[in-house]
Chain A
Amino acid sequence: MIKALFYFLLVGFMLMLGACTTAPEKPAGFVVGEEQDKGEQILPDDRTSKTVLALLDSAQASAKAGQLHNAEAQLERALRIEPRNAVLWYYMAKLRLHQNRLAEAAGLAAKSNSLAGKDRKLRADNWRIIAHARNQQGDLAGAQQAQEQVDQLKQ
């Protein structure tokens, strides 16, 4: 009985160790600042490499600590490794949006969209960023169009 408990704990311990030494199994999103939308996060898809997930972890930690310049550098590193990963471009867009660099945020969101394929949720969020940017920049018609895209994708 004690032996069984011992082995049980040992296995548990080993599993814990394993979990500590490998990249996180479940990828986290990328939250920057106090986001308005507390809704479901957009996560990197299954094809995202462990390398990029590790960099995203660092970027998230940097962003949390308010070191946006570091987060930016880490996201760019991730993008050099997976330039066609639409979610990474979206995270960059979120970062820029938080910094109120709207034109850049819109550009990055559009880039993300150009690679997003059939990911409706991601595309909707990118269009939301574009709509917000256009709205803030006074391009109301453009914002309206972008918002229509959001609505259409959400159906």
Chain B
Amino acid sequence: MVRRPTRKRKSTVQQQNKRYSRTKSRIKNRLLRWPHWRKTVIGLAVLFLAYVVFLDVVIRVSFEGKRWALPAHVYARPLELYPGVRLSPSQFNQELERLGYRYAYRPTEPGTFARQDDRFYLITRSFQFWDSKEPSRQLDIHFADGRLESLRDASLDKELTLARMDPPRIGGIYPAHHEDRILVQLKDTPPLLGQALIVVEDRNFYSHIGLDPRAIARALWVNLTGSGGLQGGSTLTQQLVKNFFLSNARSLWRKANEAIMALLLEWHYDKNEILEAYFNEVYLGQDGNRAIHGFGLASRFYFDKPIERLTLPEVAVMVAMIRGPGYYHPYRHPGRLLERRNLVLDLMAQQGVIRQSQALSAKQSALGVIQDRTTSANSYPAFMDLVRRQLKEDYREKDLTSEGLRIFTTLDPSVQVTVEETVKQQVKALDRQRGLNDQLQSAVVITSTTNGEVLAMLGDRKPGYAGFNRVLDAQRPVGSLLKPAIYLTAIEKARQYNLLSLIDDAAITLKAQGGVTWSPKNYDGQSHGEVPLYRALVNSYNLATVRLGMKLGFEAIEDTLHRLGINKSIPPYPSMLLGAIELTPLEIAQMYQTLASGGFRTPLRAIREVMTADGKPLQRYPIHIEQTVDGKSIAVLTSAMQEIMRSGTGKGVRQFFPEDVELAGKTGTTDELRDSWFAGFGSDYLGIVWLGTDDNQPIHLTGGSGALVVWSDMMRRLQTQSLLPSAAEGVEVLPIDPESLLVAGYSCSGKVNLAFVKGTAPEYYAPCAGGGKR
């Protein structure tokens, strides 16, 4: 039973084998009998087929896989709105302009606002933030006395405690070809857009198979007869294939490839998928380096609105531009574009997409493109440079330029704009004043004293200039900016030094490296004898500082500098004590950040969060703080640095600030007046300003006559807040009579307020205060 069928099968197999071999030999014989040309044809056909298969794979892989490399998008901080926040109506108005909110008599859609003096009514855009999605809200906001007074959700008729605006986009990180786009889905686009596109570019789109013989014939006819026509010979599919896979070369080979690929694309994908890809691929102009691709971005870029809100004339403008975004450029050739737009509208009416009356009224409207914002891609180059460098520590370049990451930064555009305006004016004025022929350069950085966030940065006196970033790359001698570190080293030895300890400001000669001698001088060329510690710092006496520094030792000072956040090794030469070490403005900012935040070293940050293209959290850059200096010592040092701003080298600040605003800072000047520095802070902002020239020429400015002026004007415009009394335990602030260096009273004149670690202050009242023990 078991064997028989096996045998039977065997015999069948044998029979089959025989049959196969017969067929095989028959084919072989036939092939042998074929003439050569037939073999060639077959060979070519096989090759062709293989090539088509290859193209097919290419098409499917790129069409189905990631279709576009999306640049990373970089955002400034979102503006938080809450009752009491310091924000003026004009500042808020500027923010709305930055965000592209449009004025409307009666706001009805997200991104529009109305204003009546101090009152705003607006509809915010929704936005996916790291911690939550901020919904679109109808806000009714009232300002008073430079603050936000009330915040209401008008649709819910409810007071709000907090609302967050969408963050302004400040730039992108682009791949080599600099393409940028906002991906859209067909279903989110106005139907008119697709209809207009089809009418103008490819009337038989929904019926052809990728190629349109009628259109080709018509195009040929137009070419031969020279009669003008609106429509070309390529289908949308061919145009897409060309942009997608092929070069711009006009060759037969390219045309053939284009045709095959168009057919394949149509074979695999339905019309709407192809149309959607076209919507996202189409090239629509340049924004500086950035190439504007796709209707999504173009609609944002030219009309400042999401694609779904494009009106009929705007749709016609978009479609009109396709044929030649350079030739029909909205800013360079508005006339041409308008003419072509009207042609598009006529054609739409002619083909029944719109009514004649619609076309007529649309033709009456202006182009409607918003003001030329073509510089937006290159705003804030210095800050973007810092963002890029911080990102590169964690991300590959390829991911930054292709994954569409959303980078949320700390930049405060309103602070940045203030910095830019101040520098533009003040540096120009100083340059003229000192006859520097526009050679005077500047670098500025502003951070938040409390969390180390970089709020603004300027690497060149010309704000948009993206060349040498002086904040990060200009290594300059820092001069007296180093002094606070030396005095802090002394103050930390509270048993040995307080601000009234006397140090000698007599001339000194020291052996420097190589056996040469070094005889530092005071700025005024004088020696001031025995001076209290605070006065040596307040007046930036060099001799007293060198003597103090030599006593403290290089190692102790280097240790202090490291604790303040300077990571460089410090050369153990006496001239170091007067700032003969080179640091960048950012490094100085790091050092002063520790002073401004009460002794907590906080790495400066430019990035808060990174999210994926679809709004999922990826990485946070949280605040890190470490106490590296005792709060009491910082409080004592700060009180002396406040005196600098009242009576010392920083007193020029009073031309910009009233006496009751407490600020702390330090000037820095280098040999032959080559660098002018100022570093200082209020309770909210820390600002560093450097002035100098790239070829290290004397600029005839001290820290006080140059950088301080820029700093003061900038901080005044930023309305930096007065320092608050230190909350450090174990510190007391006392008025001191500068004559007797004892505790002053009401009747004493010229008293200075200085802080002391408890138990180290003078025990007696000054004669002007009646004397006696406290």
Interface of A toward B, CB cutoff 8 Å:
21-23, 49-51, 53-55, 58, 62, 69-70, 72-74, 76-77, 79-81, 83-84, 92, 103-104, 107-108, 110-111, 114-117
Contact = CB atoms under 8 A, between A and B. Distances in A.
19 contacts: A23-B161, A49-B82, A49-B83, A50-B161, A51-B82, A51-B83, A51-B161, A54-B162, A55-B162, A70-B130, A70-B131, A76-B622, A77-B131, A81-B82, A104-B626, A107-B624, A107-B627, A111-B598, A114-B599
A79 B450 contact: yes
A76 B727 contact: no
Contacts of B620: 69, 72-73
Top 4 closest pairs, chain A to chain B, by CB: A83-B450, A51-B82, A73-B131, A110-B627
Contacts of A73: 130-131, 608-609, 620
B631 interface: yes
B451 interface: yes
Interface string B191-218: 0000000000000000000000000000
B406 to A, nearest CB: 14
B132 interface: yes
A21 B158 contact: yes
Interface-central residue, B608, B617, B625, by most chain A CB under 10 Å: B625
Contacts of A114: 598-600, 627, 631, 727-728
Given A72-B620, A79-B451, A84 B728 contact: no
B176 interface: no
Given A70-B131, A107-B627, A80 B727 contact: no
Given A55-B162, A81-B80, A114-B728, A104 B624 contact: yes
Given A62-B131, A114-B727, A77 B80 contact: yes
A107 B600 contact: yes
B623 A76 contact: yes
Given A70-B132, A107-B626, 19 more contacts: A23-B161, A49-B82, A49-B83, A49-B161, A51-B83, A51-B161, A62-B131, A73-B608, A76-B451, A76-B623, A77-B131, A80-B448, A83-B451, A84-B450, A107-B625, A111-B625, A114-B627, A114-B631, A117-B727
Contact of B727 (A51, A77, A115): A115
B100 interface: no
Interface in B442-464: 448, 450-451
Interface string B61-94: 0000000000000000000101111000000000
Interface residues of B, number: 32
B724 interface: yes
Q: Which of A54, A73, A92 has the most CB of B within 10 A?
A: A73
Contacts of B609: 73
B617 A69 contact: yes
B421 interface: no
B159 interface: yes
A70 B609 CA distance: 11
Nearest to A72: B622
Contacts, number: 85
Contacts of A58: 131-132
A80 B80 contact: yes
A58 B451 CA distance: 21
A84 B721 CA distance: 13
B643 to A, nearest CB: 22
Nearest to A22: B159
Contacts of A72: 620, 622
A62 B617 CA distance: 14
Nearest to A67: B131
A22 B83 CA distance: 14
B598 A49 contact: no
Given A79-B451, A103-B626, A107-B626, A84 B724 contact: yes
Contacts of A53: 161
Nearest to A51: B82
A23 B159 CA distance: 10
Interface string B611-649: 000000100101111110001000000000000000000
A80 B599 CA distance: 19
Given A73-B609, A114-B598, A51 B162 contact: yes
Nearest to B600: A111
Contacts of B162: 51, 54-55
B144 to A, nearest CB: 17
B503 to A, nearest CB: 29
Contacts of B598: 111, 114
Nearest to A89: B625
Nearest to B78: A77
A104 B626 CA distance: 7
Nearest to A73: B131
Contact of A80 (B131, B158, B451, B625): B451
Contacts of B82: 49, 51, 81
B161 A54 contact: yes
A51 B147 CA distance: 15
Nearest to B724: A84
Given A50-B161, A69-B617, A107-B627, A74 B84 contact: no
A16 B727 CA distance: 40
A116 B727 CA distance: 8
A76 B159 CA distance: 23
Contacts of B451: 76, 79-80, 83
A115 B635 CA distance: 13
B521 to A, nearest CB: 39
Contacts of B600: 107, 110-111, 114
A50 B84 CA distance: 11
Contacts of B624: 104, 107
Contacts of A83: 450-451
Contacts of B132: 58, 70
A61 to B, nearest CB: 10
A20 to B, nearest CB: 10
Nearest to A96: B622
B449 to A, nearest CB: 8
Contacts of A51: 82-84, 161-162
Nearest to A95: B622
Contacts of A115: 727
A53 B83 CA distance: 13
A144 B448 CA distance: 35
Contacts of B728: 114
Nearest to B163: A51
Nearest to A20: B158
Contacts of B161: 23, 49-51, 53-54
A138 to B, nearest CB: 17
Nearest to A92: B623
Contacts of A54: 161-162
Contacts of A104: 624-626
A108 B625 contact: yes
Interface string B411-449: 000000000000000000000000000000000000010
B602 to A, nearest CB: 9
Nearest to B77: A80
A98 to B, nearest CB: 14
Contacts of A92: 623
Nearest to B634: A114
B140 to A, nearest CB: 15
Contacts of B626: 103-104, 107
Nearest to A54: B161
Contacts of A103: 626
Contacts of B159: 21-22
Nearest to B158: A21
